[in-house]
A and B are shown apart, each in its own frame.
Chain A
Amino acid sequence: MSFLTTENVHKRYALGHVTVDALRGVDLVIGRGERVFLGGPSGSGKSTLLHLLGGLDAPSSGRVTLDGQDLAAIDDARLSDFRARHIGFVFQNFNLMPVLTAVENVEYPLQLLGERRRTAAARAMLEAVGLGAQADQYPNELSGGQQQRVAIARALVHRPALLIADEPTAALDSTTGAQVLELMLALSRDTGTTLVVCTHDRELLARAERRVLMRDGRIEHDSGALPAQAANHAAAAALPESA
């Protein structure tokens, strides 16, 4: 069942008279509830692809659809509302609002949706990520791992259909990173959220249910498109040193 698709997507950035082709024809079909890990060397276009999948940017050519909706076909206000309702984001550097407490940060997406009784929902979500006791602390009073868990709570509090995470563990030590990732996987499994995560972590990629490897703006390998066993081995062998 195709939930999230790209059809021959290209993305070209123009920097003065230099142009960079960040994506050169990406075709990807992700089913509802799938958990996809995106790997590949630095500059291969992982973040660019995530931005397009999350409706943050439009492709130079090709189509991105989410649940049948062509993301390039709606205006900025409606696309914003669409993101608010259907997509959650987790960033490498947590990106919490520094002037809001943990629970206020988590409330924010509910506020955008005009939901009532959001404080209770936000507190429950913080409990779920194990930060019930830190709800009223500000981000600068929390450790990196705690901040990222707040960010995960914020990304999932409104039950989005899609969660996008760009190197969510890169700013954390490996133990904390692993814990945060486990949490994200568990929560997305519980809620049936489709997950697309990009990472440099080879171990993680090796264990991934489905991994997509990129190189030079193209998909080099997609385990979801191949018989699972064979792909696992082939991809693990082909993995470059993480950048």
Chain B
Amino acid sequence: MPFLLKVALRNIRRHRRRSLVTLATVASAVIGIVLFGGFIEANYTGLRESVIRSQYGHAQIHVAGYEAGHRADPDKVRLSPESAEAVRTLLEKDRHVLMSSRRIEFAALLGNEKTSQAVIVRGVDPDTEALINSALTIIAGDELAADDADGVLLGEGLAQALNVKPGATLTMLGSTVDGTMNAVDVRVAGIFRSFATEYDDRAVMMGLTRAGELLGTPSVDTVVVLLDDTAALDGVMERFGAAAKDAGLKLEWQTWAQLASYYHKVVALYDGFFLFIALVIVVVVMFGITNTMLVAVMERTAEIGTLRALGTRRGGIVRQFLTEGVVLGTGSALIGVVLGIVAAHGITALEIMMPAPPGSSKGFPLRIEDVPGLWIGCVLAVAGIAAFATLLPAVRAARQPVVTSLRHV
């Protein structure tokens, strides 16, 4: 074992109580970071998957010009049935694609004799949409079924506003692509809850067949694609883009990350919290190690004088204490990381239910994710902090005149 390391370890062991106090301080700080960081990461993952599965899918594919033009004249920028079919065929060749589904969105009025509500309607492929919308919970009635063309799903808030239950009949009023008013009768098949209460106050889901009849068109806005793994998205879209170009399809698309501004706001907010807490912890660790090393250096002043007298250079003294500080800090951080991981897995296994976060309608089980990057970062950061915290007292002690150090008792 290198001499410096040997001396450092023996000194750490020799001053057991002081080393344990430092270890406890640093390890608790690191445990805190590992737990909080892992908790935030789990929330990001949960929010991301929930956003993807309840609303956006992994990507939404449109005809070129859709984003710029659909608000002014949606019918000009729709995918024809043939294009939509070609897109789906290309997508489903990719092994990461679980499925694709068509959508059309429009505003309508929904009501009965007593009351009506302005609603946002999403016309969907019933079989596949149910799978993309796996984060939607049906709280009453059934899912949409392909063989039930009249069935619709209402958001929880909307169903309350209309005061209807599954089985009720309603009339949907909209305008066709030619601009004339049209109406279809629908039946409430089920009531759902998504993760955003605002959405549930206005949302209707129905089969593409009736939606197309109401609007007077077989075209759709969007092909939504769902993957087996969010991390595979970039690769999938790259391959799809090349294939679509070869097939002569003029398309554009947006990924969930481009669509989900809410997700990014939440991430920015939590990252801010995390940074603040990390800073507080950095200060705590810094003080802990500085204090320990200051005492260590003070106590060993005569020893420093002796080593200097024997011919150790100033740099040798500094290296000695630096090694000790960094070994103590890094060792404590490693222990903290291990305990943090154990605690994280323990807490996750308990499945403690958390209350619904703001803007959301569902509670969720407390999960703490493994974030290896954070663990490595913790250890490296503590090593750096320890080096920094040790440097000052060590340099000061090494610069003291040898005679002064020797006279110290």
Contact = CB atoms under 8 A, between A and B. Distances in A.
Interface in A78-137: 80-85, 87, 89, 91, 95, 97-100, 108-109, 111-112
A56 B406 contact: yes
B157 to A, nearest CB: 71
Contact of A95 (B10, B306, B401, B403): B306
A156 to B, nearest CB: 12
B246 to A, nearest CB: 69
Given A51-B403, A99-B10, A83 B309 contact: yes
A109 B311 CA distance: 8
Contacts of B315: 77
Contacts of A51: 402-403
Contact of A91 (B11, B306, B401): B306
A interface secondary structure, majority: helix
A84 B308 CA distance: 9
B306 A76 contact: no
Contacts of B303: 95, 97-98
A54 interface: yes
A57 interface: yes
B325 to A, nearest CB: 16
Interface in B2-45: 3, 7, 10-11, 14
B312 A80 contact: yes
A80 B403 contact: no
Nearest to A166: B406
B131 to A, nearest CB: 66
B313 interface: yes
B312 A112 contact: yes
B302 interface: yes
B242 interface: no
Given A95-B302, A99-B10, A99-B11, A89 B402 contact: no
B273 to A, nearest CB: 43
B68 interface: no
A56 B402 contact: yes
A99 B7 contact: yes
Contacts of B165: none
Interface in B301-347: 302-303, 306-316
B311 A81 contact: yes
Nearest to B313: A80
Contacts of A87: 311
Interface residues of B, number: 22
A35 to B, nearest CB: 21
Nearest to A98: B14
Given A95-B302, A95-B306, A100 B312 contact: no
Nearest to B405: A56
B396 to A, nearest CB: 15
A54 B309 contact: yes
Interface string B391-404: 00000000001110
A80 B317 CA distance: 12
Contacts of B402: 51, 56-57
A241 B265 CA distance: 85
A138 to B, nearest CB: 9
Interface string A46-88: 0000010010110000000000000000001100111111010
Contacts of A77: 313-315
B304 to A, nearest CB: 11
Interface string B280-311: 00000000000000000000001100111111
B403 A83 contact: no
A148 to B, nearest CB: 14
B404 to A, nearest CB: 9
Contacts of A99: 7, 10-11, 14
B335 to A, nearest CB: 22
Contacts of A57: 401-403
A85 B314 contact: no
A80 B401 CA distance: 12
Contacts of A98: 14, 303
Interface string B365-409: 000000000000000000000000000000000000111001000
A197 to B, nearest CB: 16
B310 A108 contact: yes
Contacts of A76: 313-314
A51 B305 CA distance: 12
Contacts of A84: 310-312
Nearest to B10: A99
A100 B403 contact: no
Contacts of B309: 54, 56, 83, 89
A85 B313 CA distance: 13
A125 B352 CA distance: 67
A154 B312 CA distance: 14
Contacts of B311: 80-85, 87, 109, 112
20 contacts: A51-B402, A56-B402, A57-B403, A76-B313, A80-B308, A81-B311, A84-B311, A84-B312, A89-B306, A97-B7, A99-B7, A99-B10, A99-B11, A100-B7, A108-B307, A109-B311, A111-B3, A112-B311, A112-B312, A154-B310
Given A84-B312, A85-B311, A99-B7, 15 more contacts: A51-B403, A56-B403, A56-B406, A76-B313, A80-B313, A80-B314, A82-B311, A87-B311, A95-B303, A97-B306, A99-B11, A100-B7, A111-B3, A112-B312, A112-B316
Interface of A: 51, 54, 56-57, 76-77, 80-85, 87, 89, 91, 95, 97-100, 108-109, 111-112, 154
10 closest A-B pairs by beta carbon, nearest first, are: A84-B311, A99-B10, A83-B311, A95-B306, A80-B313, A56-B402, A57-B403, A89-B309, A80-B311, A112-B311
Interface of B: 3, 7, 10-11, 14, 302-303, 306-316, 401-403, 406
